[in-house]
Amino acid sequence: MGTDLNAPLGQDRRTKPQGGKKPMLSAARVCLGLGILALAGISGWAALSPTGLRRTEPTDIAQAEPAEMPDGTASGQKPEDAGSKPRPLPTSGGLSGANVEKTLTDDGSIITKFSPGQRSGNGPALIEVGQQKGQDPRVAAQPNDALLEDTPEGRIPIIGANGERPMDQYARPWSGARGIRIALVVGGLGLSQTGTQKAIRDLPGEVTLGFAATGNSLQRWMQEARRSGHEILLQVPMEPFDYPDNNPGPHTLRTGPSATQNLDALHFALAQITNYTGIMNFLGGQFLSNADALEPVMRDLAKRGLLFLDDGTSAQSLTGTLADTIGVPHGFADLVVDGQLERIAILRKLDELERIARRNGSAIGVASAFDESVAAVAQWMDEAGTRGIEFVGVSALVKDPQQQ
């Protein structure tokens, strides 16, 4: 039987043939060999092919024409921290109001990291790849510190070092289409807690909300409104014709005081909240008709990149004339929709506003945050949206000198 442990039990191991032809390769071995050759061929093709699979060697920088890199250096310059790790890039003013950190990766992509500013603890970070115009909606309640100026009255809006205006930063985005557009502004928020809460909760995000500078808890309500997608305005008290019998409240802009005093009052109002695109008059028939009193205010708004919306209630208002001369983005309301505080009457006024928009291409309507007004506006917008109307923030419909 032999001593070969690999031999079948009960049989002697076959004796290997002496000499003669060697046995032929099995089919399995042939296939294995062909597979190895094929794999080697594909690897070589991938390495040498010009289709983009081959890693290209960097060109001689000294022979290339210098080009501007995303980090501001020329392509012929070697950054001190050059290497395989992503490089942080400088930023020029955050677009979101948050802390902004940009990083250049090996493949040339720019990764933007947003994290809330002025907060303690380790909160979540928001990461975005690519560019974004305007304020990131996820941090819309956070002000952009680059667009704020410290004054004795508080922090107030200013045009950023890169030329960005608060009007653009806090504007509600819209499609850009030239169809029928309507902006609805509901003001008086902050004067009543229940009314303010109801307006923010029930009105669609397309409605622009006006906060009274004399209101309460304005910063809290502003943040809630911004999180709900609303563009906002600040309503500044101005002297009416029957002042002081009809008194808009403290820090009213008036025709008697000096320009310095009125600017102090204006700045006090501007410091009450942040994240607004501009201001709107609260009363003010007398003040808006006085060029000497109004002009310094309009010049200050132009310097701060804010728009001015005239509620359209005073036929003697000079805002349009001065705004065109000074270069202030401005607009006029076409209609006060809740002059009669009754639901059916408000719905009829809103239908009239739609006719104005279809005739002129756009229209602006204003209302106050009464329960009847909020309910009627919300109902009408739900129906009018099916008729091809686009509702936009008021900043989309003002006359802007930069867009002329």
Mean pLDDT, contiguous 10-residue spans, the chain (404 residues): 46 48 53 63 54 43 42 44 46 50 60 58 46 65 95 96 96 92 98 97 98 96 96 98 94 97 98 98 97 98 98 95 96 97 97 98 98 98 94 97 82
Query: 3-class DSSP state for residue 187?
Result: strand
Would strands 148-151 and 154-157 be described as parallel, antiparallel, or unpaired? antiparallel
What is the model's pLDDT at position 126? Answer: 47
Domains in the chain: ranges and CATH: 87-132 (no CATH), 146-403 (3.20.20.370)
Cα–Cα distance measured from residue 366 to residue 188, given in angstroms and rounded to the nearest whole number:
11
Cα–Cα distance measured from residue 176 to residue 315, given in angstroms and rounded to the nearest whole number:
31
Looking up tokens 């960005």, which residue turns up? 164
pTM of model > 0.85: no
Spatial strand order in the sheet of 126-129: 87-89, 99-104, 110-115, 126-129
CB 266 within 8 Å of CB 236: yes
What is the model's pLDDT at position 136? Answer: 76
CB 225 within 8 Å of CB 235: no
Tokens for 55, please give them.
């890693």
Distance of CA 312 to the CA centre of its chain: 28
Cα–Cα distance measured from residue 326 to residue 60, given in angstroms and rounded to the nearest whole number:
53
CB 288 within 8 Å of CB 319: yes
What is the model's pLDDT at position 152? Answer: 93
Query: 3-class DSSP state for residue 212?
Result: strand
Cα–Cα distance measured from residue 171 to residue 277, given in angstroms and rounded to the nearest whole number:
6
CB 326 within 8 Å of CB 302: yes
Query: 3-class DSSP state for residue 17?
Result: coil
Torsions phi, psi for 277 (to 5 deg): -90, -20
What is the model's pLDDT at position 349? Answer: 98
Give Cβ neighbours of residue 265 (< 8 Å, ≥ 6 apart). Answer: 251, 252, 253, 257
Give Cβ neighbours of residue 165 (< 8 Å, ≥ 6 apart). Answer: 147, 159, 305, 306
Cα–Cα distance measured from residue 302 to residue 29, given in angstroms and rounded to the nearest whole number:
84
Among residues 184, 229, 136, 162, which one has the least CA distance to residue 396?
184
Q: CA–CA distance from 110 to each of 132, 280, 306, 370 (Å)?
A: 12, 39, 31, 47
